[in-house]
Amino acid sequence: MAHGAPSHAMPSAIRIRDVYKSYGALQALGGVSLEIEQGEIFGLLGPNGAGKSTAIALCTGQIARDSGSIDIGDAGSPRAARARALIGLAPQQIALYDELTARENLIFLARVHGMPNPPHRADELLDMVGLLPRARDRVGTFSGGMQRRLNLAAALVHNPTAIFLDEPTAGVDPQSRTAILEVVMRLAAEGRTVIYTTHYMEEAQRICSRVAIMDRGRVLAIGTVPELVATHGGESVVTVDSVAGQHRVRTREPLREIERALAEGGATAVRIEQPDLEMVFLSLTGRRLRD
């Protein structure tokens, strides 16, 4: 997936304008504005309490905003019936019925959404997430990774165009993580918009076309990962080991620093620590993402 800037030729799939939301005295969102393009995988990054879940709850119509506006495509407010049909949600918590089989879970949700031929749709999705062989097993017997994959499939039963995935790979095995990421990239390739929250920086760097860093109910920065790293990642650290000892230099031009060290001679080892999204986060919030 390319990390390029959004194509402004694409229509906005989700528009959030100056949205405020408070729970009593606690302000969960304080004037958030985002514009997410169709076909994007948009990462929402932030520590616990940053306002990510509140933003998702507002965008999926679970709760009402205090002020501002949210539009899902041209269907308007997420609480409108038309918009609901466009929204898919895979909550952070596994939201499935353990006593039902994988197939029964998907058939039930497809029926609730009024999909034609629910059994066929269920089988399609089970195949997509690699669970077709376990279709008739009860969800309670599934591993955490398999439940996560089914949780994702359940969000897709009604062919939504705006898909909200809240920590979809939390606590899963590598095989399931790969399967989930492949599905997410396939959804974006089909032109669907994916809003993705995660604690895994490498995951965000790998799949997100753009990222918003949130903290304390506000958006601190938005951009592609290279843009954010270049703007907020700070300097690279070059460490040169030589017979004279170890020498560490912070620089925005690490290659020039290495050339200089080599020209001086005596270097036995050279290491570069380049800034990444974690550094961006640290520099913007003063905290690590997992704090």
Nearer to other proteins, 95 or 237 (CB): 95
Answer yes or no: are the C-beta atoms of 2 and 222 closer than 8 Å.
Answer: no
The CA distances from residue 125 to 129, 164, 253, in Å, are 6, 17, 48
The distance of closest approach from Cβ of residue 74 to other proteins in the complex, given in angstroms and rounded to an integer, is 18
Half-sphere exposure of 258 (CA within 13 A, CB side): 13
Locus of tokens 């690699």: 130
C-alpha–C-alpha distance, residues 163 and 46, integer Å: 19
Task: Find the binder of other proteins among 3, 15, 113, 206 (CB under 8 A).
Answer: 113
Task: Find the binder of other proteins among 9, 25, 26, 81 (CB under 8 A).
Answer: 81
What is the identity of the amino acid at 19? V
By CB under 8 A, residue 135 contacts other proteins: no
Contact letters for other proteins, residues 239-278 (x by CB under 8 A): ----------------------------------------
Q: Which stretch binds other proteins (CB under 8 A): 2-10, 58-66, 171-179, 194-202?
A: 58-66
C-alpha–C-alpha distance, residues 259 and 58, integer Å: 52
By CB under 8 A, residue 93 contacts other proteins: yes
Q: 56-91 burial, b for 16+ CB within 10 Å, e for fewer? A: bbbbbbeeebeebebbbbebeebbeeebbbbbbbbb
Task: Find the binder of other proteins among 5, 18, 64, 98 (CB under 8 A).
Answer: 98
The distance of closest approach from Cβ of residue 119 to other proteins in the complex, given in angstroms and rounded to an integer, is 13
By CB under 8 A, residue 141 contacts other proteins: no
SS3 readout for 39-51: CCEEEEECCCCCC
The distance of closest approach from Cβ of residue 160 to other proteins in the complex, given in angstroms and rounded to an integer, is 9
Name the site residues for other proteins (rule: CB under 8 A). 60-62, 81, 84-85, 87-89, 91, 93-100, 104, 108-109, 111-114, 154
